[in-house]
Amino acid sequence: MSEQYPRPSVTVDLVVFTVFDSDLKVLLIERGEEPFAGSWALPGGFVRVENTPDSRGEGLDAAAYRELQEETGLTPSQVHLEQLCAFGRPFRDPRFRVSTIAYPALVQPHLALTAGTDAADARWFSVRQEVPEMSLAFDHAQILAAALSRVQEQIEARPIAFRLVGPTFSKSELRAVYETLRGVPYDPSNFARRFTRWEREGMIEKAPGKRITGARRAQVYRFRTA
Amino acid sequence: MSEQYPRPSVTVDLVVFTVFDSDLKVLLIERGEEPFAGSWALPGGFVRVENTPDSRGEGLDAAAYRELQEETGLTPSQVHLEQLCAFGRPFRDPRFRVSTIAYPALVQPHLALTAGTDAADARWFSVRQEVPEMSLAFDHAQILAAALSRVQEQIEARPIAFRLVGPTFSKSELRAVYETLRGVPYDPSNFARRFTRWEREGMIEKAPGKRITGARRAQVYRFRTA
DNA sequence: CCAAAAGTGTTCCTAGTACACCCATGT
DNA sequence: ACATGGGTGTACTAGGAACACTTTTGG
């Protein structure tokens, strides 16, 4: 019967992005065990499976949120996870057959600073400066690349940028996020027009206070939760 | 060790769409065994996994193509598969823990007619007329809905419509595909402008022959493979 | 006064939308 | 002749790209 077929292990891997120091960062964990001991890898782990009559273990999303919390301390209310896709090359893990489900995530910079220091073996790496020089464990370089593409597409199509800025932000701060994530410059004027439209549409509203960045004070805004 | 954790079974499920009779169809298979014996389900099956030193079985994409061929006779050169995402609710299969990877696919109508009749228990169903009245096996209704959304997004963003028409087609035939897939009418004039742009950009070229649909003969086109 | 950053205005172009209209053909 | 479907033209609008310009502030 089908129950008797050999089964693959299934893991979830998190591609946790943030932006600080005007730079796109991804959270990596130094592996302590073989395989790839000493290499850096995406945070993640095995999906808990049971096959008892009353429990089957956790769903995929639940596993992703659990791993996120275990490895970064970030809670589901702080970070939104959305599945990217599955990776299942037979030899992607040298030990045995492991398929993994990738979950890109965006965390706000003020949460990121604590997240990266929670675990001693976790660190933020510059996606463009550092990661290309590294040799990530497993096929994690490929997963990271796929996750980045997905997020780059989505930020133009859906209001997800607010997950990469603090509670309030100026026009230029939000623009900087777009520029950092996409890796291309945005015309300040044209970005301001989009920004104004978002405000007109009720996605963004003025927040009290001004941002003092050096010269002229910038108006501060926040996203509307409603 | 991690190798000893209970593992989920992993399957691939295919959401094979086509368009004929001006109607969007999906291929379903009547289940012969429990669970859901007698119900209709998406074609699919277990990913073959081995854990011998020299073989690990097949990759996810390979499994999807194999199932496609087994259940419809369609070959990888005829149909393009692209992974959607994984579904892994713990109790989505009443027997035991099964996670599945969904693969939407588009097949050209002239290939669809043979595919649906290859297996006695396979049939094309109208996505909008018939499927909503049916109770699909497992969470296949949800998978189908997700696949449809994905394809509807993609057809506006990428040139994938040619996978739903025959080797040659008229403007209105292609427009009918868009209308059928999206479920909304397209202005013939505006669609013609997009069509002309595609021709200018080299995506489409004139093909010899005319289509005789009743009144005036329509120019016939084909997609450029280059 | 000048540099730097915030913010405004203008022009051009592409593409989507709505709608009016002409053309060729079989019945 | 006329209904039918193929095909063309026009006016309007939203929004992206490029770029010049003004305003506010600190040094």
Spatial separation of the C-alpha atoms in residues A43 and A140, rounded to whole Å: 10
Q: Smallest Cα–C1' distance to nucleotide C17: which residue has it?
A: B190
Q: Which nucleotides of D are covered by protein (CB under 7 A)?
A: 3-10, 15-20, 23-26
Tokens coding B68: 């496609």
Spatial separation of the C-alpha atoms in residues A184 and A167, rounded to whole Å: 24
Residue A94 has pLDDT above 60, yes or no: yes
Does the CB of A210 sit below 7 A from strand D? no
CB count in 10 Å sphere of residue B140: 27
Note whether A138 and A9 are within 8 A (CB): no
pTM listed for this prediction: 0.94
State residue A225's pLDDT score: 80
Spatial separation of the C-alpha atoms in residues A132 and B168, rounded to whole Å: 45
B8: nearest CB among A10, A87, A88: A10
Give the CA-to-C1' distance from B149 to C1 in angstroms: 60
Helical packing angle, B171-182 and B140-157, nearest 10°: 140
Nearest nucleotide to A188 by CA–C1' distance?
A: C7
State residue B52's pLDDT score: 83
Q: Residue B55: its chain A contacts at CB < 8 A?
A: 90
Residue A97 to residue B49, Cβ atoms within 8 A: yes
Q: How confident is the model at residue A195 (pLDDT cuts 50, 70, 90)?
A: very high
Give the pLDDT mean for A192-196. 95
pLDDT in tens, chain B (226 residues): 445 678 999 999 999 999 999 999 999 999 999 899 999 999 999 999 998 888 999 999 999 999 999 999 999 999 999 999 999 999 999 999 999 999 999 999 999 877 766 667 899 999 999 999 999 999 999 999 999 999 999 999 998 999 999 999 999 999 999 999 999 999 999 999 999 999 999 999 999 988 887 778 899 999 988 7
The model's pLDDT over A54-76, given as tens digits with 9 standing for 90+, comes to 899 999 999 999 999 999 999 99
Residue A2 has pLDDT above 50, yes or no: no
The β-bridge relationship of strands B98-106 and B9-20 is: parallel
Note whether A222 and A205 are within 8 A (CB): yes
Peptide bond into B159 cis (omega under 30): no
User: Chains A and B: how many Cβ contacts under 8 Å?
Assistant: 102
Burial B179-206 (b: 16+ CB within 10 A, else e): bbbbeeebeeeebeeebeebeeeeebee
Residue A117 has pLDDT above 70, yes or no: no
A7: nearest CB among B9, B84, B85: B9
Q: Across all residues in chain A, what is the average pLDDT?
A: 92
CB count in 10 Å sphere of residue B60: 23
Give the pLDDT mean for A20-29. 94
Nearest nucleotide to B186 by CA–C1' distance?
A: C17
Best of B7, B85, B103 to substitute, by most chain A Cβ atoms within 10 angstroms, is: B7
